[in-house]
Amino acid sequence: MAEEYNNYCVECRTEYMDEVVETTYVLPLVPVARQGEAAGRTPGPRGIAFNGVRFDAAAPQDAILAAHTLAPFDDCGGHVNLHVGYHYHGANGCSPKQEKSEADAPMIGFAMDGYPILAKLTGEDAEKAGLDACSGHVAAGIGYHYHGNSAEKNEILGCFKGEIGCALDSPDAVCKADERPAGGPPEGGPEGQKPHDEA
């Protein structure tokens, strides 16, 4: 980070953004469990809330701390950046909910692998649930699902249990989940996804 931005409280307002910011999220209709270990910390979105707000990966703490800056979250666990606009880093109770009688908490959105994200569990409920490293578990009637982390954990999910979809910033891009490029994540999509131009 440039020296003149050291020791700053970083503020990004929605009025700094272009007037229209559009992203298309492509999620599996039927989640497909990964073979082997769950996907660790991949860049890109973690999911989408019912109000269309993106659940994002962890804010880059190393860069923030190295520059002695602050990038504060609002009460909803969200903030703005110029790349993705307003987004959440946690489940702080601000996103719309859908009650499901068979679930142990209201549903707040979907993860990029298609599994539901439910509201966070606290106290005894969290202990009884036996959440895995990805913040998820299996429950009768609803199957595998995640419970969002609060914003102080800096990311709503720790990892993905299923094959992930894509976030496409271009109307000409296509999500091809069956094509896995070698190397790092391509621009415009999370690790293992490659947006292509249509022929």
Residue-wise pLDDT tens digits, 31-53 = 999 887 666 666 778 999 999 88
Report the pLDDT value the prediction gives residue 188, as an integer from 0 to 100: 36
CA–CA dist 134, 148 (Å, integer): 9
Tens of pLDDT, residues 51-76 = 988 998 887 777 667 766 666 788 88
What percent of the chain lies above the pLDDT cut of 70? 69
pTM of the entire predicted model: 0.75
Whole-number Å distance between alpha carbons of 88 and 90? 6
C-alpha dihedral (128, 130, 90, 39), degrees to nearest 10 = -170
Higher pLDDT, 79 or 116: 116
Q: According to the model, what pLDDT value does residue 189 have?
A: 36
Q: What percent of the chain has pLDDT over 90?
A: 19
Say if residue 181's pLDDT is above 60: no
Residues ≥6 apart with Cβ < 8 Å to 134: 38, 146, 157, 158, 159, 160, 161
Cα–Cα distance measured from residue 155 to residue 133, given in angstroms and rounded to the nearest whole number:
12
Tell me what the pLDDT averaged over the chain comes to: 76
Alpha-carbon span 71 to 93, nearest angstrom: 20
- CB under 8 A, 24+ apart: contacts of 141-146: 141/102, 141/103, 142/100, 142/102, 142/103, 142/116, 144/31, 144/33, 144/115, 145/103, 145/107, 145/115, 145/116, 145/117, 145/118, 146/111, 146/115, 146/116, 146/117, 146/118
CA distance 117 to 122: 15
